[in-house]
């Protein structure tokens, strides 16, 4: 299988703080990779380097086999981002647009699709995330879980080759988490390539093909969920697994 995402010894610093210390990771087409670990491990930074919302200082990033230079310019980064969908922890829906227009915006403005075609695509996606009835509502009229599902539809509207989820359920009321996870699980079932930073261990265990465990800017473990959760090797991973699953 071909790698969609390829990180080779990526380093990322903010001032004197190094948040990614030479991270290497490959994600193959159709693979679902969950990135877990304690806060401050560099999980979000890793995700944000993949679509160049953060630029790396060293190492090589390849998306679908093409190297992406951190100083490649906005045109290059815009083209990269068309292939890489991102879902944020805080939804980040545009408050001045209805759910439908949030989803149509990418197809209209970036892909320059005709209005009818963009709307058709947006409607189908809103239907798919279970929000067809809410298409004309503004973000402020939707619950957090509904907003996040619109945000997923917005990312999917670009027909990306890979989806990044940056703690997509962390800001949600516990009762609303399930609806979002259901959408993510359905996406995984369709074999959408996904790189998922999450604190939802059940989702990681049941849906992901691989668990990537990060701490202090490094990937310490990369294993199938069963192996990782039953037999973590690195001491920090053992500690982490013990702290999150006292019952299992």
Partner 1 sequence: MDFQIIVTYLPFLLKAAGMTVVLSVLSLAFGMAIGLGLTFLRMSPNRFLSRLAWTYVWLVRGTPMLMQVFAIYYWLPTIGILMPPFLAAIVALSINASAYYVDIFRAAILTVPSGLVEAGQAIGMRPWQVTWRIVLPLAVRPALPPSIGQAINAVKNTSLVSVISVQELTATSQAIYSSTYKIAEILGTASLIYLTITTVLALLQTWLEKRLGYYTVR
Contact predicate 107/122, CB 8 Å: yes
Maximum pairwise Cα distance, the chain: 55
Phi/psi for 244 (5° steps) reads -95, -20
State which H helix or E strand residue 206 sits in.
Answer: helix 201-207
Closest approach of partner 1 to the CB of residue 224, in Å: 29
- Nearest distance from C-beta of residue 22 to partner 1, angstroms: 25
Query: Could you say whether residue 140 binds partner 1 (CB under 8 A)?
Result: yes
Q: Is position 92 an interface residue for partner 1 (rule: CB under 8 A)? A: yes
Of residues 48 through 67, those in contact with partner 1 by CB under 8 A are 51, 53
Which of 94, 114, 127, 239 forms a contact with partner 1 (CB under 8 A)?
A: 94
The one among 63, 151, 152, 208 contacting partner 1 by CB under 8 A: 151
Q: Cβ of 205: how many Cβ atoms within 10 Å?
A: 17
Q: Does 78 engage in binding with partner 1 (CB under 8 A)?
A: yes
Looking at the Cβ atoms of 7 and 93, the one nearer to partner 1 is 93
Closer residue to partner 1, CB minimum distance, 115 or 226: 115
CB of 154 to partner 1, least distance (A): 7
Among 21, 62, 82, 178, binds partner 1 (CB under 8 A): 82
The three-state secondary structure class of 7 is: strand
Q: Are strands 218-223 and 210-215 parallel, antiparallel or unpaired?
A: antiparallel
User: Which position among 43, 121, 135, 154 is part of the footprint of partner 1 (CB under 8 A)?
Assistant: 154
The one among 10, 23, 61, 88 contacting partner 1 by CB under 8 A: 88
Minimum distance from residue 72 beta carbon to partner 1 (Å): 13
Identify whether the C-beta of residue 81 lies closer than 8 Å to the C-beta of residue 42: no
Sheet of 162-166: strands edge to edge? 84-87, 162-166, 193-197, 32-36, 210-215, 218-223
Identify which of 196, 167, 162 has the alpha carbon closest to the alpha carbon of residue 80.
Answer: 162
Among 138, 182, 234, 244, binds partner 1 (CB under 8 A): 138
Distance CA 177, CA 54 (A): 27
DSSP 94-139: -TTS-HHHHHHHIIIIIS---HHHHHHHHHHHHHHTT-GGGTT--G
Stretch that binds partner 1, among 23-31, 59-67, 137-145, 187-195 (CB under 8 A): 137-145
**Which residues lie near partner 1 (CB under 8 A)?**
51, 53, 74-75, 77-82, 84-86, 88, 90, 92-96, 105-106, 109-110, 138-141, 151, 154-155, 157-158
């Amino acid at each position: 299988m071909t790698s969609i995402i390829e990180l080779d010894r990526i380093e990322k610093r903010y001032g004197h703080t190094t948040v990614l210390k030479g991270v290497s990771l490959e994600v193959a087409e159709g693979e679902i990779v969950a990135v877990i670990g304690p806060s401050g491990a560099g999980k979000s930074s890793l995700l944000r380097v993949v679509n160049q919302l953060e630029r790396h200082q060293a190492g090589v990033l390849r998306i679908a086999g093409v190297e992406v230079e951190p100083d490649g310019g906005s045109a290059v980064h815009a083209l990269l981002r068309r292939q890489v969908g991102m879902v944020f922890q805080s939804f980040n829906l545009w408050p001045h647009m209805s759910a439908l227009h949030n989803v149509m915006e990418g197809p209209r403005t970036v892909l320059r699709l005709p209005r009818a075609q963009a709307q058709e695509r947006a409607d189908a996606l809103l239907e798919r995330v279970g929000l067809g009835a809410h298409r004309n509502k503004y973000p402020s009229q939707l619950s957090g879980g509904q907003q996040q599902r619109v945000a997923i539809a917005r990312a999917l509207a670009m027909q990306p080759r890979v989806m990044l989820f940056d703690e997509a359920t962390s800001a949600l009321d516990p009762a609303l988490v399930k609806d979002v996870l259901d959408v993510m699980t359905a996406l995984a079932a369709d074999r959408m390539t996904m790189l998922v930073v999450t604190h939802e261990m059940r989702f990681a265990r049941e849906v992901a093909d691989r668990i990537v465990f990060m701490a202090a800017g490094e990937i310490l473990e990369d294993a199938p969920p069963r192996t990782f959760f039953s037999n973590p090797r690195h001491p920090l991973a053992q500690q982490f697994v013990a702290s999150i699953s006292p019952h299992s």
